Structure 1
Amino acid sequence: MSPVLLMTIGLAIFAVGYIFYSRYLSRRVFQLDASFKTPAHELKDGVDYMPTNKFILWGHHFTSVAGAAPIVGPAIAVIWGWVPAFLWVTIGTVFFAGMHDLGALWASTRNKGRSIGALSARYIGKRGAGLFLVVIFLLLLMVIAAFAVVIKNLLISTPSAVIPTWGAIIVALLVGVAVYRLRWPLLPVTIVGVVTLYALIVLGDQMPVVLPDDFLGMGPATFWILALFIYGAIASLLPVWVLLQPRDYINGVQLFVGLILLFGSVLTATLFSANVPQIVAPAINTAVPDGTPSMIPLLFVTIACGAISGFHGMVASGTSSKQLDKETDARFVGYFGAVGEGLLSLGTILAVIAGFRTVAEWNEVYSAFGAGGVGAFVTGGGALMEAGIGLPASLSATVLATMAVLFAATTMDTGMRLLRFVVQEVGDTMKMRISKVPATIIVVVVGLGLTFSQGLGGDGGLRIWPLFGTTNQLMASLTLSIIAVMLIRKRRNPLPALIPLVIVFVLSFWAAIEQLASFADPAKADWLLFALDIIIIASSVWVAIEAAIAMRKAATDPPEAEHEDAQLQAVREEV
């Protein structure tokens, strides 16, 4: 099959899903109401709660949930063949991720911007809420520690990405001042911001920054990780309009520019280039390398972001719901945010299956499970850009590496903000009030402890990463259970949530059990991961049972009033 045809089919599926299915969910299932007073207006504080233009909020939401995962997951999963990866990305985005992200945003908005962890106490029960927080804490810890390592590796392997990576922070700060303080129109600010960001990419390509082996008394890896955690801590404490929103918005726009370049390269290379790109990867790979796990269920947890991801629900309920100007904006922010992830995953699949000249080259890269990843995306995508639009290979690699770094960085700083919220929620459950700064210090200390647990190179951040896929998907199923309970309470059709809930829970639970056996294998035993996997499995099963009980009760209780205040409803339930 031609890469152009595959690209066209994928884009068409996403377009149809957004135009028709998201409209059905918004109007018939969630019944979004433009007159509903959102938490951003009701609880406005200018720090976490702030009404935001839907395009800016989409940029924050999309880039926060994107990170490196929609690149890493598909780039690894094509080892089983591009057909399974393509189907899971497209179908998963339309029917699973879109429902999950929009639903989590709606659920939190209807409950004063409360996080998924807080919602679990109300809709599933206090017995399961504590265990729910355990799953959330571990998942967020995996994200910030592992993404710090991913960014560090890219800054070292692609030094041309250093200047645009850190220069983007200055651009974002200026954009925030221009939009929120000077009240300049969004369009010209966006154009200037994106042009400046790409100018920094060109400058970075001409002036790569390579740190010496001994820099300020430490190696490059240690320095970059410390710098990233310091940045993340500061960013998570600043008001959202100062850095979080403008940074994520500009990154979201530049991602779409990057995707246009990537998709455009596939088209122009096919139409005008002498070296027409071909799909060299197998459609179904029947000769996978030794040690590759079975496609089912591992495909469905290897590709998380870009199909469905529990982390999205935490962002939707943790930050995005607190900034939603009108409830009807949730369709664009939530569902189209999921579509943006799908587009990035589709671009990744095209890059790693058509960005190599021969099958032999592809086989050399995919010689072992996990050997693909960001490197394969940068290499393959750079080759497509060079063939399609004549962009030099080094500059193409800088564009794609910067894209990956910026998304990983936005996910990391949002993850630190969310983990700070979790620490504060845990403190509340223990009758201890933990303010922002101490909570952030706890997050930094625990995150750095994990990241440096295997040496100053920081690779300890990847130690618990093998659990990310299963934990992330179990988290998605638990979020869908909250959405289902809410829909049942309101006497609306719960099937759009229940069907993906059952499928995702069964597949991710299956994967968690398989991983448990591999962690106990005497040849490669890892008892830390074994213990954590048991905790995650036990917590998820307990919460799932509580959710099933809550759904049964919701079906027999009186219907919930449409605009009933969440606190009043909670008091009534206690009585």
Structure 2
Amino acid sequence: MNSIVLAVVGVAMMILGYLLYSKFVARRIYKLQDSFVTPAHELGDGVDYVPTNKYVLWGHHFTSVAGAAPIVGPAIAVIWGWVPAFLWVTLGTVFFAGVHDLGALWASNRHQGKSIGSLSGKYIGHRGRNLFLVVIFLVLLMVNAAFAVVISNLLVGTPTSVIPTWGAIVVALLIGQAVYRYRWNLAVVSVVGVVALYALILLGDRFPVVLPETVLGLPANAFWIVVLFVYAGIASVLPVWMLLQPRDYINGLQLFIALGILYGAVLISAPTVVAPAFNESVPAGTPSIVPLLFVTIACGAISGFHGIVASGTSSKQLDKETDARFVGYFGAVGEGLLALGAIIATTAGFRTIADWEAVYSAFGQGGVAAFVQGGASVVNSGLGIPPSLSATILATMAVLFAATTMDTGIRLQRFVVQEAGHIMGVTIGKVVATLIVLAVAMGLTFSAGADGSGGMLIWPLFGTSNQLLAGLTLSMIAVILLRKGRPVLPVLVPLVFLLVMSVYALIVQLGQFWAAENWFLLVLDVIILIAAVWVIFESAIAMSQARKNPPELDEEPLPSTAGRDRSL
């Protein structure tokens, strides 16, 4: 199989999904209204609620949701063959992820920017809300701890990515000032910012930063982990326009260019896919493709984390409700393109099937390293970019994706802590809430030793928990649609599929943890499973009641939407 076929067919399916299916969903299901006054205008505070240009907001949303997971998941899942991974990524993006992400953004926007967890209290009851918040907190904890480990390992393993990774923060701060304080032209700022980022990549490739084995008494990777958490904590309390938005926006442009380089190299070199279409000789110990494929590839097909971002930060920055289609659905398409690129890099980036099998010798192998290795080979053969620089570009792309997700993840987990405090009648300030989040995340990360390996301790449950969260978010959206008397089938199909697969996967993993005598993950799995079944039960009751009650009237747009400043 020529990789060009995968690239052209996959990209065409996703673009057509955005042009056709997303328009149908936006108009007929969610009925987006340009006249609806968004929370960014109604509750604007210059910190979290900030009306934002849709392209800038898309950059924030896309890079926040597209962390390392859309690379790691597909790069592992191709062990079952490239056909199942390809079909799940393309069809999942068009019919599952886009509907989910746009729906979460719309639902939050219609409820003053409240998170999906908060909305669950209104639509499925307080018990369901509390359990929903538990699942959200655990997913965010997994993301923040694991991504800190992934980023630190990349910084140590690819020292040429250190300068562009940290230099991007300085570029973002300057862009934030240029756009919001001095009102410079966005196009000019964008070009200058991208040029600056790629200059940093060239500089990093020329001057790699290699830390000594220990820094301040910590191993090199542990030192990077501490620095990452300190940075993410500071970033989470700054106004979104100052760092989070511009960092995500300029990273989004740079990352899309990097994807363009990868796809361009595929079109020029036309590498052959050496991996099997369906792998009938999987290594011993590889779990069954069903249901594990659908939870191994989460981000890139559909991910519950997207709903947290959409309802946690992105909904608070919508300038117009109709922007939600571009930000939410096209954000999912962007991540699908990244996942597709990961599939191509890890199946066509090797010379022979023997080389591929050497990497995929056991389930769980591959991941970011296989993506960087395979992708660098494709870029080198297609565009003639030296292998070292090719690896630097792709490693920097992976680091920046993961880092922007971690930035947003810490902020979102802070919101969950503050919300939990509100439920208990305690007011928790954002600084105190952030310190609580950092303490828990760093405690988990270093719980197994100074090397930070504890950050991956509960990661085996991420895929199932994340997909479960996506199903629960879709159930919330379905309840809202039913109460409004709207068509619900485009939401119900992915809802049922995800809940079945995620609960099935949790049960399968129970057996695996029991056999491995991993009692910690076994207990955590049981807790998540109980919470899931409970919330599903509450959601089913809410949907049944919604069908019986008269449809609610749509919210009337607030008067006088004229004169809103849309220049940001």
After TM superposition, the score normalised by the length of structure 2 is 0.98
Where 2:385 maps in the other structure, the secondary structure is: coil
Q: Which residue does 2:216 correspond to in 1?
A: 216
Q: Conserved in 1, the CA contact under 8 Å of 2:74 and 2:343?
A: yes
Q: Which residue does 1:317 correspond to in 2?
A: 311
Q: Which residue does 1:484 correspond to in 2?
A: 478
Q: 2: distance between equivalents of 1:160 and 1:339?
A: 29
Where 2:442 maps in the other structure, the secondary structure is: helix
Q: Deviations over 1:208-256 (max 9, x none)?
A: 0010112223221221011000000000000000000000001110111
Deviates more, 1:494-503 or 1:552-561: 552-561
- What amino acid is aligned across from residue 544 of structure 1 in structure 2? I
Q: Deviations over 1:108-162 (max 9, x none)?
A: 0000000010010011111211111110010000000000000010000000000
- Equivalent residue in structure 2 for 1:527, among 519, 538, 541: 519
- What amino acid is aligned across from residue 542 of structure 1 in structure 2? W
- What amino acid is aligned across from residue 261 of structure 2 in structure 1? L
Kindly state the Cα deviation for residue 99 of structure 1 after the two structures are TM-superposed: 0.2
Q: Which residue does 2:410 correspond to in 1?
A: 416
Q: 2: distance between equivalents of 1:58 and 1:398?
A: 25
Q: 2: distance between equivalents of 1:213 and 1:427?
A: 41
Q: 1: distance between equivalents of 2:236 and 2:217?
A: 27
Structure 2's unaligned 5+ residue stretches are 559-568
Kindly state the Cα deviation for residue 379 of structure 1 after the two structures are TM-superposed: 0.3
Matched ranges for 1:8-47 at <5 A: 8-47=8-47
Q: Conserved in 1, the CA contact under 8 Å of 2:88 and 2:301?
A: yes
Q: Which residue does 1:379 correspond to in 2?
A: 373
Q: Conserved in 2, the CA contact under 8 Å of 1:114 and 1:318?
A: yes
- What amino acid is aligned across from residue 243 of structure 2 in structure 1? L
Q: Which residue does 1:389 correspond to in 2?
A: 383
Where 1:265 maps in the other structure, the secondary structure is: helix
Q: Which residue does 2:302 correspond to in 1?
A: 308
Q: 1: distance between equivalents of 2:217 and 2:524?
A: 35
Q: 2: distance between equivalents of 1:402 and 1:12?
A: 27
Q: 1: distance between equivalents of 2:312 and 2:144?
A: 15
Q: Conserved in 1, the CA contact under 8 Å of 2:37 and 2:557?
A: no
Q: Which residue does 1:234 correspond to in 2?
A: 234
Q: Which residue does 1:510 correspond to in 2?
A: 504
Q: 1: distance between equivalents of 2:265 and 2:401?
A: 22
Q: Deviations over 1:474-513 (max 9, x none)?
A: 0000000010011101111011111100001101110010
Q: Conserved in 1, the CA contact under 8 Å of 2:176 and 2:241?
A: yes
Q: Which residue does 1:76 correspond to in 2?
A: 76
Q: Which residue does 2:179 correspond to in 1?
A: 179
Kindly state the Cα deviation for residue 100 of structure 1 after the two structures are TM-superposed: 0.2
Where 2:218 maps in the other structure, the secondary structure is: coil
CA RMSD of aligned residues (A): 0.9
Kindly state the Cα deviation for residue 6 of structure 1 after the two structures are TM-superposed: 1.2
Q: 1: distance between equivalents of 2:255 and 2:222?
A: 28
Where 2:215 maps in the other structure, the secondary structure is: coil
Q: 1: distance between equivalents of 2:76 and 2:213?
A: 31
Q: Which residue does 1:200 correspond to in 2?
A: 200
Matched ranges for 1:83-94 at <5 A: 83-94=83-94
Q: 2: distance between equivalents of 1:315 and 1:218?
A: 33
Q: Which residue does 1:274 correspond to in 2?
A: none
Q: Conserved in 2, the CA contact under 8 Å of 1:92 and 1:307?
A: yes
- What amino acid is aligned across from residue 424 of structure 1 in structure 2? Q
Kindly state the Cα deviation for residue 558 of structure 1 after the two structures are TM-superposed: 2.1
- Equivalent residue in structure 1 for 2:428, among 424, 434, 437: 434
Percent identity between matched residues is 67
Q: Which residue does 1:339 correspond to in 2?
A: 333
Matched ranges for 1:99-110 at <5 A: 99-110=99-110
Kindly state the Cα deviation for residue 422 of structure 1 after the two structures are TM-superposed: 0.2
Q: Conserved in 2, the CA contact under 8 Å of 1:60 and 1:244?
A: yes
Q: 1: distance between equivalents of 2:517 and 2:58?
A: 42
- Establish whether residue 357 from structure 1 lines up as the match of residue 343 from structure 2: no
- Establish whether residue 557 from structure 1 lines up as the match of residue 554 from structure 2: no
Paired residues, number: 558
Kindly state the Cα deviation for residue 564 of structure 1 after the two structures are TM-superposed: 5.8
Q: Which residue does 1:398 correspond to in 2?
A: 392
Matched ranges for 1:261-276 at <5 A: 261-270=261-270
Q: Deviations over 1:22-78 (max 9, x none)?
A: 000001110000000000000000000000000000000000000000000000000
Q: Which residue does 1:573 correspond to in 2?
A: none
Q: 2: distance between equivalents of 1:518 and 1:5?
A: 37
Q: Conserved in 2, the CA contact under 8 Å of 1:4 and 1:267?
A: yes
Kindly state the Cα deviation for residue 377 of structure 1 after the two structures are TM-superposed: 0.2
Kindly state the Cα deviation for residue 413 of structure 1 after the two structures are TM-superposed: 1.1
- What amino acid is aligned across from residue 421 of structure 1 in structure 2? F
Q: Conserved in 2, the CA contact under 8 Å of 1:40 and 1:323?
A: yes
Q: Conserved in 2, the CA contact under 8 Å of 1:149 and 1:225?
A: yes
Q: 1: distance between equivalents of 2:550 and 2:134?
A: 32
Q: 2: distance between equivalents of 1:532 and 1:215?
A: 34
Q: 2: distance between equivalents of 1:124 and 1:215?
A: 50
Q: Conserved in 1, the CA contact under 8 Å of 2:79 and 2:360?
A: yes
Q: Which residue does 1:548 correspond to in 2?
A: 540
Q: Conserved in 1, the CA contact under 8 Å of 2:36 and 2:557?
A: no
Q: 2: distance between equivalents of 1:63 and 1:525?
A: 37
Q: Which residue does 2:443 correspond to in 1?
A: 449
- What amino acid is aligned across from residue 209 of structure 1 in structure 2? V
Q: Which residue does 2:130 correspond to in 1?
A: 130
Q: Conserved in 2, the CA contact under 8 Å of 1:70 and 1:303?
A: yes
- Establish whether residue 327 from structure 1 lines up as the match of residue 302 from structure 2: no
Kindly state the Cα deviation for residue 103 of structure 1 after the two structures are TM-superposed: 0.2
- What amino acid is aligned across from residue 278 of structure 1 in structure 2? T
Where 1:553 maps in the other structure, the secondary structure is: helix
Where 2:517 maps in the other structure, the secondary structure is: coil
Q: Conserved in 2, the CA contact under 8 Å of 1:73 and 1:302?
A: yes
Q: Conserved in 2, the CA contact under 8 Å of 1:221 and 1:456?
A: no
Q: 2: distance between equivalents of 1:158 and 1:24?
A: 44
Q: Deviations over 1:385-411 (max 9, x none)?
A: 000000000000000000000010011
Kindly state the Cα deviation for residue 565 of structure 1 after the two structures are TM-superposed: 9.3
Where 1:163 maps in the other structure, the secondary structure is: helix
Structure 1's unaligned 5+ residue stretches are 271-276, 567-575
